[in-house]
A and B are shown apart, each in its own frame.
Chain A
């Protein structure tokens, strides 16, 4: 049996000033090419889990192994993990293509290569020709695509998505989720997708981790999860009863 692409071994984390773990003894393994849904109500620790994997928040215990290397104490900018926030966090002082090119610029990619790559990913997310637009002039859906393009530009080995549809309306979400699914499949991405929306998780994920009060209470495929929820809480979260 091959070792997983990303594994968390007994990972705990806490916030300053609090004695309670925000994440408690989490051990999961994720294989290359898998899309993992992270499902939980607000305050369950889903966002903290992503932050710990991205290196934005320190672990208090345990280790994180990424692609065979222990990255537990590696600073964020050296982890090579893509990250996308709910509010998209586009740089307001840069236009669309400068936003997308940001990571490439940090990686010192030559200018000519950079513009080719930017055009490529903008094309990929369906925003060809948007390069010179001011990010403030974009619609919610367009902002979401720019954020995705910015994350994809560096071809990260793992992408972390924190409720990327969270700030969009239902109609837009129903259109964008299948698109995202297709993109993930085409590019063969390994991804963690945080959401509190059951249908989004079921539509996108190969496997779903359900979090409750900082612990993983169940980690299974959508089918198993639906058929045999491990606890009352999981069942309620899935909308049973």
Chain B
């Protein structure tokens, strides 16, 4: 008997026409959001720098760039980022090899735990570093104010980026390639330089570009550890705006920074296309093995010890010191968080900052998720052949740009655009969540797109042939699969908002501080109790972030980028 199932499939031509419309419609909210809250503020900065009065004036560039102080700052920013990146890659490569090649107890847990420093707010990173290499810290050596403090903190912060990005690529390389090279007479180091490295290079470049960008736009870490002599462009932009009110100079610096960042991203995209080698990827479970020799066991052990020292010590010490008050062990610092003393009318008890942070993070998460879902859907289309179009790629690229833009630039841009009509958000509580959503959006899209892509179009077709309407298909096929990615993205957006410091520093109102701001303020006040409060607050923020991060890792869909 011939099946009499009603197949209400739209006519091919009309259908694809309609699909394009839906994708345009889906892309509209995120693109409008980017236009209003990214392009406009950044454009305003450009205008402020290049067109200060009535005429175009490129002379401001010459003035700022020929200033020896500015030259020194620019030079320091560049070399500090290069040094951080190189150091981080060198230090993290053995860790990547460990995860790529060996099976050991607690591997999965450690893989997740590595992310803790990376998702930590930079302010907390700075504070926990103070506990180790600050005056009176564990090592007894005071490195604050030296470039070493900055480099160590950047390595601490970015270690997971390199280990996880490079490690996951490394785990897909067939060990038999390396074994073939050995059988062909290559000693171990040449196996690495001739076979492993060429195949890893593009993932090392990917990780490096991220570490470079984070180091180049480093703000919180530099503020806390850099002292007065070491300043990045990011810090200078902040100071010129917030301290000296030299908006024109800040604008020029922001433009220079934006230029460098975009140049790096473009260069990276190009070199990536040129250099990447396609190879048959193995699954990670196929390439890992238990240690066989004493040397391999030693390699695993020394790697684990190194990770414990580099990543574990500062965090453990932070928690321990938050309980170590001048009166002995106790909750003194935590209790002090609820005090409203401070002698200033604008002072609010630090505990209020927790509520503010949670509120802002919730709003930011909702905004980022809604926009991210629209964007991801526009990028992916229905997953059928040919739907991965140029339109999708452009939307994708446009959404990645804020990733490379410094948070301080975003905050600065908001400051000059939204404190006057037509949009005056200066006193609204929306400004901070919007800025956070903007920072989180690229990450959210990065997490959602693979989730959507992982939906086999045949599943949809199967559902359709069983008589499901398009809406039913979406509800019964897409939603359950994307749900996981959505949960992971929500976690990431929440964690990013909790820890955001650069943009918030511009936009925060004195009576509504977020946790990172409260920590930074406490650090700036003299006295053991204020420092202790910073420790206590950092511990709370760390715990919040870790909880959120554990949720992310539980729901992380397979095949998603590694940070």
Instruction: Pick the contact of A58: B188, B199, B292 (CB < 8 A).
Output: B292
Bound-state Cα–Cα, A150 to B184, Å: 8
> For A55, what are the chain B residues with a Cβ–Cβ distance below 8 Å?
182
A154 and B185 contact, Cβ closer than 8 Å, known pairs A16-B289, A93-B198, A93-B199: yes
| Chain B, 179-203, CB within 8 A of any chain A CB | 179-188, 190, 194-195, 198-199
Contact call B177/A89, Cβ cutoff below 8 A: yes
Interface of A is mostly: loop
Bound-state Cα–Cα, A89 to B278, Å: 13
Write the chain A residue with the least CB distance to B177: A89
Q: How far is the CB of A76 from chain B (nearest CB, A)?
A: 4
> For B176, what are the chain A residues with a Cβ–Cβ distance below 8 Å?
85, 87, 89
Instruction: Pick the contact of A102: B194, B277, B290, B291 (CB < 8 A).
Output: B194
A89 and B180 contact, Cβ closer than 8 Å, known pairs A77-B185, A77-B186, A103-B185: yes
> For B188, what are the chain A residues with a Cβ–Cβ distance below 8 Å?
77
> For B277, what are the chain A residues with a Cβ–Cβ distance below 8 Å?
92-93
Instruction: Pick the contact of B177: A54, A75, A76, A91 (CB < 8 A).
Output: A91
The yes or no answer to A239 lying at the interface (CB within 8 A) is no
Q: How far is the CB of B192 from chain A (nearest CB, A)?
A: 13
The yes or no answer to B428 lying at the interface (CB within 8 A) is no
> For B278, what are the chain A residues with a Cβ–Cβ distance below 8 Å?
92, 136
Q: How far is the CB of B272 from chain A (nearest CB, A)?
A: 15
> For B190, what are the chain A residues with a Cβ–Cβ distance below 8 Å?
106
Encode contact with B along A34-68: 1 for CB under 8 Å, 0 otherwise. 00000000000000000000111110000000000
The yes or no answer to A17 lying at the interface (CB within 8 A) is yes
The yes or no answer to B174 lying at the interface (CB within 8 A) is yes
Bound-state Cα–Cα, A151 to B183, Å: 9
Contact call A76/B179, Cβ cutoff below 8 A: yes
Contact call B185/A15, Cβ cutoff below 8 A: no
Encode contact with B along A103-124: 1 for CB under 8 Å, 0 otherwise. 1001100000000000000000
Instruction: Pick the contact of B179: A16, A80, A89, A102 (CB < 8 A).
Output: A89
Q: How far is the CB of A88 from chain B (nearest CB, A)?
A: 9
A56 and B184 contact, Cβ closer than 8 Å, known pairs A16-B290, A92-B199, A102-B194: no
Bound-state Cα–Cα, A217 to B250, Å: 81
- Give the A interface residue count (CB, 8 A): 31
Q: How far is the CB of A199 from chain B (nearest CB, A)?
A: 26
Write the chain A residue with the least CB distance to B277: A93
Contact call A106/B183, Cβ cutoff below 8 A: no
A103 and B292 contact, Cβ closer than 8 Å, known pairs A89-B179, A93-B199: no
> For B187, what are the chain A residues with a Cβ–Cβ distance below 8 Å?
75, 77
Instruction: Pick the contact of B182: A76, A136, A154 (CB < 8 A).
Output: A76
Contacts between chains A and B (CB distance < 8 A), count = 81
Contact call B291/A16, Cβ cutoff below 8 A: yes
The yes or no answer to A222 lying at the interface (CB within 8 A) is no
The yes or no answer to A82 lying at the interface (CB within 8 A) is yes
Encode contact with A along B125-160: 1 for CB under 8 Å, 0 otherwise. 000000000000000000000000000000000000
Contact call A56/B185, Cβ cutoff below 8 A: no
Instruction: Pick the contact of B183: A15, A81, A136 (CB < 8 A).
Output: A81
The yes or no answer to A83 lying at the interface (CB within 8 A) is yes
Contact call B183/A76, Cβ cutoff below 8 A: yes
The yes or no answer to B293 lying at the interface (CB within 8 A) is yes
The yes or no answer to B244 lying at the interface (CB within 8 A) is no
Bound-state Cα–Cα, A239 to B421, Å: 88
Encode contact with B along A16-44: 1 for CB under 8 Å, 0 otherwise. 11000000000000000000000000000
A83 and B177 contact, Cβ closer than 8 Å, known pairs A16-B291, A58-B293, A154-B185: no
Write the chain A residue with the least CB distance to B197: A93
Q: How far is the CB of A48 from chain B (nearest CB, A)?
A: 12
The yes or no answer to B67 lying at the interface (CB within 8 A) is no
Write the chain B residue with the least CB distance to A106: B185
Contact call A106/B186, Cβ cutoff below 8 A: yes
Bound-state Cα–Cα, A17 to B194, Å: 31
Bound-state Cα–Cα, A93 to B201, Å: 11
> For A80, what are the chain B residues with a Cβ–Cβ distance below 8 Å?
185
> For B291, what are the chain A residues with a Cβ–Cβ distance below 8 Å?
16
Q: List 20 extra interface pairs beyond A77-B188, A92-B278, A150-B184, CB under 8 A.
A: A15-B292, A16-B292, A54-B179, A54-B183, A56-B183, A58-B293, A75-B187, A77-B184, A77-B186, A77-B187, A85-B180, A87-B176, A102-B184, A106-B181, A106-B184, A106-B186, A106-B194, A107-B185, A151-B184, A154-B185
Chain B interface residues toward A at CB < 8 A: 174, 176-177, 179-188, 190, 194-195, 198-199, 277-280, 289-293
Shortest Cβ-Cβ A-B pairs, 10 listed: A16-B290, A103-B184, A92-B279, A83-B183, A106-B185, A76-B182, A89-B176, A17-B290, A93-B277, A93-B198
- Show 21 A/B contacts (Cβ-Cβ < 8 Å), sorted by A: A15-B289, A15-B292, A16-B291, A17-B290, A57-B292, A58-B293, A75-B182, A77-B182, A77-B183, A77-B187, A78-B185, A85-B176, A87-B174, A89-B180, A91-B177, A91-B180, A102-B186, A102-B194, A103-B185, A106-B185, A154-B184
